[in-house]
Each structure stands twice: as structure tokens, then as C-alpha cells.
């Protein structure tokens, strides 16, 4: 069976070649495409065919450069710079999160391009440093009053800064040596995705996560987690 990264690479090749049948062959029957944290744009292969057929006609590519990529379990993250064949259309960067199940792309979440990327990265850096120092107030100050936390593509499991602060106060008390190592970071606009390797103690086996931070009005408004399986 192909790896998730290989499936995503095949998807991009098919798009560049305007091969819609090959592109659809990389998608699951129940494929969902959505803005990160928003309601789906489309569900199912039939809707995907219409979308991609229009896209390859409206935005034929001169070239695509992969600026960054990382993978964890069934999830692949890519930031790409795309140049249109039509000079009037210019170029753009995209940040895409692919979830692969049973060898096919089951979900595609697209991060918005808008936002102050440098400020978002600085905020993600600040909250991670405070997390590792277990400075609870400084850590929580990076998050919005209505912070929402969930696994990627799943229902919200924690809502509001009071609940967030209580969760991390308990975690810091239980694991006073907890530490998250930043393995890799990919960002675009108001979205920062950190690949973190976490150890509860220096001697314990680490576990790995993607933490997907969405920044709004100078605070982290949503965190979506991807956990290695």
C-alpha cells in the first residue's frame, strides 16, 4: 500500500497534468473538502469531480514548488507555491492538510491565506515556551476567551479559556517535567502547524502530535490536534 505522502504526491501530479480521472482515483468515496475549522465546501467524489474540473481549467499551472511538507500517521501537510500559466492570474501560496484512510485521501482541509504570518508564528512560539516552562498564566494569555480545541475534523472537546486553563493546570501538576520539542513548523497567514514530540519525563517514551493553531485578533482561537497512530 502506498504511503500517505505518496498518495498526496500522486494527487498533485494528476492535478498538474489535468488528469481528472487519475486525480479522483486518489480520493475516497466519502471525500470531504473544507476550509480549516469551517463547514465543508463539498462531500463525495461527484462534487469533487466538478470542483477539480473547474479548477484545472480556471487555474492551469505553469509550475508548483513545494515549500514545506511534513507527515504524521495518516496526515500530510503541504505548503506549496503555485504559478498560473496565465500571467494575469499571478501566483499564490497554499497550506493544505490531507487526511488519508485506506490508501485514499478522505479529507482535505485548506488553511486561509489571509493574516499576519509573522505575528501568528511569534504567538505560537510564545505559547510553546510558556508551556515548556509551565507558566500557566503566560501560556493561557496566548489564547482567546472562546478558545476551542478538538481533534482535526472532529467535534470540539474543550471550549472557553476557563476550561482550557483548568485542563492545563491539572496536566502541569500531574507532569511537572513535561516537555514538547518542536520538530518542524509550517505556517501560512493566520495558521501555524507545529509537529511536536512530547515527553512526560526526560526518560519516558515520547509521543508525537501536530498542533494546528488558528490565530484571530492576536490570540489563538482554535487548536486542532493530530495524533500519531
Which pLDDT tens digit goes with each residue over 81-134?
A: 998 888 888 889 999 999 999 999 999 999 999 999 999 999 999 999 999 999
Total of domains in the chain: 2
Same domain assignment for residues 157 and 106: no
What is the arithmetic mean of pLDDT over 46-62?
Answer: 85
Same domain assignment for residues 83 and 184: no
Same domain assignment for residues 202 and 183: yes
Same domain assignment for residues 86 and 12: yes
Same domain assignment for residues 137 and 98: no
Task: Identify the domain boundary among 89, 110, 131.
Answer: 110
Same domain assignment for residues 144 and 165: yes
Owning domain of residue 180 = 117-227
Same domain assignment for residues 101 and 122: no
Same domain assignment for residues 99 and 121: no
206 DSSP 8-state letter:
P
Task: Identify the domain boundary among 110, 142, 174.
Answer: 110
Element (H, E) at 18: none
Give me the long-range contacts of 198-201 (CB less than 8 A, separation at least 24).
Answer: 200/175, 201/175, 201/177
Same domain assignment for residues 124 and 223: yes
Q: Over the chain, what is the mean pLDDT?
A: 94
Same domain assignment for residues 161 and 208: yes
82 within 8 A of 67, measured Cβ to Cβ: no
Q: What is the pLDDT of residues 14-26, one digit of tens each?
A: 998 889 999 999 9
Same domain assignment for residues 84 and 124: no
Element (H, E) at 137: helix 136-140
CA distance 186 to 79: 7
What is the CATH number for 125?
Answer: 3.10.450.50
Q: Could you tell me which residues come within 8 angstroms of residue 180 by beta carbon, excluding any fewer than 6 positions away? A: 128, 131, 132, 196, 197, 198
Task: Identify the domain boundary among 110, 144, 166.
Answer: 110
In this prediction, residue 1 has a pLDDT band, given cuts at 50, 70 and 90, of low
Across 64-68, 207-211, 220-224, least confident range: 64-68
Same domain assignment for residues 11 and 82: yes
What is the arithmetic mean of pLDDT over 194-218?
Answer: 96
Amino acid at each position: 500500500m502506498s504511503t500517505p505522502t505518496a498518495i498526496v504526491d500522486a494527487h498533485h501530479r494528476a492535478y498538474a497534468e489535468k488528469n481528472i480521472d487519475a486525480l479522483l482515483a486518489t480520493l475516497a468515496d466519502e471525500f470531504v473538502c473544507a476550509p480549516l475549522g469551517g463547514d465543508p465546501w463539498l462531500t463525495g467524489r461527484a462534487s469533487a469531480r466538478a470542483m477539480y474540473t473547474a479548477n484545472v481549467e480556471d487555474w492551469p499551472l505553469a509550475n508548483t514548488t513545494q515549500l514545506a511538507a511534513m507527515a504524521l500517521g495518516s496526515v500530510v501537510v503541504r505548503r506549496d507555491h503555485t504559478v498560473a500559466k496565465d500571467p494575469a492570474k499571478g501566483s499564490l501560496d497554499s497550506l493544505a492538510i490531507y487526511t488519508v484512510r485506506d490508501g485514499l485521501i478522505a479529507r482535505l482541509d485548506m488553511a486561509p491565506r489571509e493574516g499576519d504570518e509573522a505575528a501568528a508564528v511569534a504567538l505560537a512560539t510564545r505559547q510553546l515556551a510558556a508551556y515548556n516552562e509551565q507558566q500557566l498564566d503566560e501560556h493561557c494569555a496566548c489564547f482567546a476567551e472562546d478558545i476551542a480545541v478538538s481533534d482535526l475534523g472532529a467535534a470540539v472537546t474543550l471550549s472557553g479559556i476557563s476550561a482550557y486553563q483548568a485542563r492545563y493546570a491539572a496536566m502541569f501538576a500531574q507532569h511537572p517535567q513535561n516537555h514538547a520539542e518542536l520538530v518542524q513548523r509550517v505556517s501560512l497567514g493566520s495558521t501555524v502547524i507545529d509537529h511536536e514530540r512530547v515527553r512526560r519525563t526526560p526518560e519516558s517514551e515520547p509521543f508525537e502530535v501536530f498542533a494546528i493553531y488558528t490565530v484571530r485578533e492576536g490570540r489563538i482561537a482554535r487548536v486542532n490536534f493530530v495524533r500519531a497512530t
